[in-house]
Structure 1
Amino acid sequence: MDAIDRRIILALQQDGRLSNVDLAVRVGLSPSPCLRRVKLLEERGIITGYQAVIDRHAINLSLTVFVEITVARHSRQNAALVGQSLSSIPGLVACHMVSGDADFLAEIVVADLSSYERLLTEHILTIEAVEQIRSNFSLRPITTSLPLTLPSA
């Protein structure tokens, strides 16, 4: 990936609906080479898709909770059980198996605190292999795109 590819990716992360002509202008290419580069980035699996970014507040999912989950009696089976159970939780945005104090870190969106309490008691606390849960509430997001640094010119 060179500097032009990075500029293409950064521009598409900011606005995935850019026309090829507008994208080409932003990155300093003519439209044909720009389109070829985008197609190559897609073929190489660097760009894996395009999606709409939804305003969570507009659809009444105003509370983002990061839930740290520790698995009881560490084993492959318990980790698989927790991972599979977490993947079916309503409002789950992302979930990662992590190292450190917790074993899983789940990002969950809900309408409000009482909705989170309901989700916690009805879904997360019912997973047998869960030993400990710690909830962290987001005050506001800081960034929403991958930090691709451009080399100095």
Structure 2
Amino acid sequence: MQLDATDRRILGILQKEGRLSNAELSERVNLSPSACHRRVGRLEAEGFIQGYVALLDARRLDRPTTVFVEITLSGQADEVLEAFERAVKLVPDVLECHLMAGSADYLLKVVAQDTDDFARIHRQYLARLPGVAQMHSSFALRTVRQTTAIPV
């Protein structure tokens, strides 16, 4: 499916204002409500829109500490990677896990209350992940920019 300028405007607006009503969205992209609704349905069906979420404030939820954890595994065999990936998906404090090219095999984004809470997460979960040979943690001092909006 090819995206035209109207599809891109719809995606740009929805990823910043996902609770916008169809009537408001259709007005902003200069379409009739029915045509706008059809386009949004098509964008959902084609997988351009994967879902709708509420973005929460980690500080208000007592998770102000962000830690990036670089993990190097003991090997690169498929079964080692698959076992690690299955296990890391079960760690509730891991927001993101990326398979990397470079010095580490995986990069995790973890949220915690503070350093003591991260120590608990490390002991209870991260240190028990299968296949881990090395782990390096870096604490974010301040978030300069954070967005979920993909350029369209």
TM-score scaled by structure 2? 0.89
Q: Kindly tell me the number of residue pairs found equivalent between the two proteins.
A: 149
C-alpha deviation, 1:78, in angstroms: 1.7
In 1: Cα distance, 2:115 partner to 2:27 partner: 45
SS in 2 for 1:120: helix
> SS of the counterpart of 1:135?
strand
SS in structure 1 at match of 2:125: helix
Instruction: Give matches, 1:120-139, under 5 Å.
Output: 120-138=122-140, 139=142
* Distance apart, 1:128 and its partner CA: 4.4
Task: State the identity as a percent.
Answer: 36
**Is 1:142 matched with 2:145?**
yes
SS at match of 1:102: coil
1:55 aligns with one of 18, 41, 57: 57
Q: Which runs of 5+ in 2 are unaligned?
A: none
Using the alignment, how far apart are the partners of 1:122 and 1:145 within structure 2?
29
Q: Where do 5+ consecutive residues of structure 1 fail to align?
A: none
Calculate the TM-score normalised by the size of structure 1: 0.89
Structure 2 counterpart of 1:19, which letter?
S
Take 2:12 and 2:65, find their aligned partners in 1: how far apart are those partners? 27
The CA RMSD over aligned residues, in Å, is 1.5
Q: Give the secondary-structure state (helix, strand or coil) at the position aligned to 1:145.
A: coil
